[in-house]
Each structure stands twice: as structure tokens, then as C-alpha cells.
Homo-oligomer: A and B are copies of this chain.
Amino acid sequence: MIKRTFIRTAVLALGIFCCTVSCKHTPETSTDTTTSAAPSGQQKEPFAIVIHGGAGTILRKNMTPEREAEYRKVLEKAIRTGYDILKNGGSGLDAVQKTVNVMENSPLFNAGKGAVFTHDGKNELDASIMDGKTLNAGAVAGVTTVKNPITLARTVMEKSEHVILARKGAEDFAEEQGLEIVDPSYFYTESRMKALERIREREKSELDHDGKTAFYDPIIKDAKFGTVGCVALDKNGNLAAATSTGGMTNKRWGRIGDSPIIGAGTYANNQTCAVSSTGWGEFFIRGMVAYDISALMEYKGMSLKDAAKEVIQKKLPGLGGNGGIIAVDHLGNMVMEFNTAGMYRASMNAKGELHVGIYEN
């Protein structure tokens, strides 16, 4: 609560309308359930896939039709990549990795190419992946030279005895394993640099330098959001989840958010569900958001839909956090739950029915 108070105070002192905007948009429920939970006579979806491209203050009034079309195009391209893998009998792990790769390679999303800049003007990338069959997992934090962090996370899972590798060490491991290495300048995009410059300018002109308002971006309203993720159920009943991000604009001090933290940003368990998170990472860590949804299903017998609603609409705001999750359970029920104004998202069921969404409705 202390942090929340600090940040609130800073925000109020600045008269930033960010809070006002976000306060207006705390919908009681923003559940997007594209396959309704099957009743007792449970009909199992043979496979299913859901993706997100970040949750936050995404408002129609700030979006041009052209830009919206671009987002929809990449979301569709990404999810169809995973869908095709699943349809052809591929694994959930392959589906989530390859789908996230598409979003990592697009400059539109805050992951891979297009990642936001740190306080020092670098792109430091985090990612994690989990296999619901074995409960094995891999994650990387703060890498700057690996083109596709989610691919490295999978390599950590499959080719090392570790779960989390960080920074230079993780990059050395990536090289040893023959992953695609790029010059850090590969991740540069003008729009993200401008976002950093705006924050720096603001810090210089208006702020003490305690970094307390480092989150704020006057254009995109909040700089702390932006992540990509994918969850999938494959034809063999295996669940998988993957999350990749550049973190928050202007992040400092080697900050690690929830995306590389198993149980917070990513979780998968064939007995329950697969989850990928996006939002204000610190609160997702404190709330163990991804695992908590699974625990509510396993220990309280809740449906995925109810568990996701409980965590995202009650427990997370109770801590002071916001954001959203995508999830799929072992029956193929898909949920996209968020307490922000919007979340880039898409889902496809086994019939090939595609749903793409950006705003609350």
C-alpha cells in the first residue's frame, strides 16, 4: 500500500489526468469469454488458442482507423500461426512460441522489435514459457541481443537445468545454443525512443529526480503496460503459456517485472489452465496472478472464468494493480479478462472461429 500511496501522491501532485482516465475505466467486468464454460456434460474443445498484445489505457479516441487496422492485422497473423500448428497436430509449446515470435518481430508491440526503452536508452527484454504437461518452465530477464526472447526462454527450459537466466549470462547461453543474435540497435523504433524522450523531458522540467513518476508517458497515458502473450491447448490435451515484453518505458535499476516470473506472468498446468499476464508487473508479482487463477480452480473447484474474474476484478485491484490476462483451460474454455480500458487480444477455437478485440467491448 505504501508504494501505491507514493505513486498516487506523485500523480496527484503532477495533476496528471492519467489517473482520472484510468479511474473512469475500471469496468466491473471486462470478461471476454469466447467459448462459454461447458456445463456438467462438458464438451471438450479439441484445441484452442488465445493471444494478447498488452492491456492498458487503450482508448478508441486515441486510435486512428489505420493504426487499429495494423494492430488487427498482426494479431490475426500471429494467432493464425499458432492455430495452424495446433490444427496440424503440433504441440501447444510450438504454438505459443511461434505465435509470440510473430508479435516479437512486429514493431507494434512492446516485445522484441518495438520494445520500450529503459532509463539508459536500452532495450532490455524479458520472457517466460511454461509446459503444462511437465510443469517445466524457462525464463530470461534483461537480455539485449537476442532477437526472440521467448525462443531463448524455451531453450533455457529445454537445454539447461535452470529456470531463470538473466542479462549477460543469458545472452552468453543464447550464443552457446546458437540462437539468433542481433545488434542491440535492431530493437530501436522511433516511436519508443520518442516516448522515452517525452518522459525524460518531463522529468527534467517538472520533477524531482526520485524516479517516482518514471511510469508516466503523456501520450500513451501509461508507460507501464505492454506485453505480448499466448496460451494454447493442443490436440493431445497439453497446455502451454508464453509471455514476452520490453517491460516499462524508462525502467531503471535493472527492474524485473512479472513477465519472466513463473506464476506471476506465465503459468501452465494440464490439470487446470494456461495463463499469460499483462499489466502493472509489480502487482502481478505480489498477487502471483497467473498461478492464483490455477490455484482457485484446483483448490476451490472454480471455473476458469470465475477464477479469472475473482483475481483480475477483485484481488488485483484490491492490491492497487491493474491489467489483464488471457487463459485457456484443459477443456478449451478461453477467457480474456482485464480491468483496464482495453487489451489487444484475439482467440481462435478448433472450428477456426476468430475473435479479435482491442477495447472494452
Secondary structure of the A contact surface, majority rule = mixed
Copies in the complex: 2
A239 sits at the interface (CB 8 A)? no
Q: A134-B1, A319-B135 are in contact. Are A163 and B215 (CB under 8 A)?
A: no
Q: Chain A contact residues (Cβ within 8 angstroms of B): what range?
A: 35 or more
Distance in Å from the Cβ of A163 to the closest Cβ of chain B? Answer: 5
Question: A164 with B256: in contact, given A136-B2, A299-B295 (CB under 8 Å)?
Answer: yes
Interface string of A157-193 (1 = CB under 8 A from B): 0101111111111101100000000000000000000
Contacting residues, chain B, for A257 (C-beta < 8 A): 164
- Complex Cα distance A291/B163, Å? 18
CB distance from A239 to the nearest CB of B (A): 14
Q: Which residue of B lies closest to A258 (CB)?
A: B163
Cα separation A342 to B249 with both chains bound (whole Å): 46
Please tell me if A246 contacts chain B, counting CB pairs below 8 Å.
no
Q: Which of A45-53, A71-79, A199-207, A260-268 contacts B (4 or more CB under 8 A)?
A: A260-268
Cβ-defined contact, A282 with B2, below 8 A: no
Q: Are A136 and B3 in contact (CB under 8 A)?
A: yes
Q: Scoring A residues 316 to 347 as 1 if CB is less than 8 Å from chain B, else 0, what string do you get?
A: 00010000000000000000000000000000
- Indicate if the CB atoms of B299 and A7 lie closer than 8 Å: no
Q: Which of B6, B167, B300 contacts A299 (CB 8 A)?
A: B300
* Chain B neighbourhood of A296, CB < 8 A: 299
Contacting residues, chain B, for A165 (C-beta < 8 A) = 253-256
Interface residues of A (CB under 8 A from B): 1-3, 6-7, 134-137, 141-142, 158, 160-170, 172-173, 211-212, 214-215, 252-257, 261-264, 281-282, 285-288, 291-292, 295-296, 299-300, 319
A-B contacts, 16 of them at CB < 8 A, read: A6-B161, A7-B161, A135-B287, A136-B286, A137-B286, A142-B167, A160-B211, A161-B282, A163-B281, A163-B285, A165-B254, A166-B254, A167-B254, A169-B252, A170-B254, A288-B288
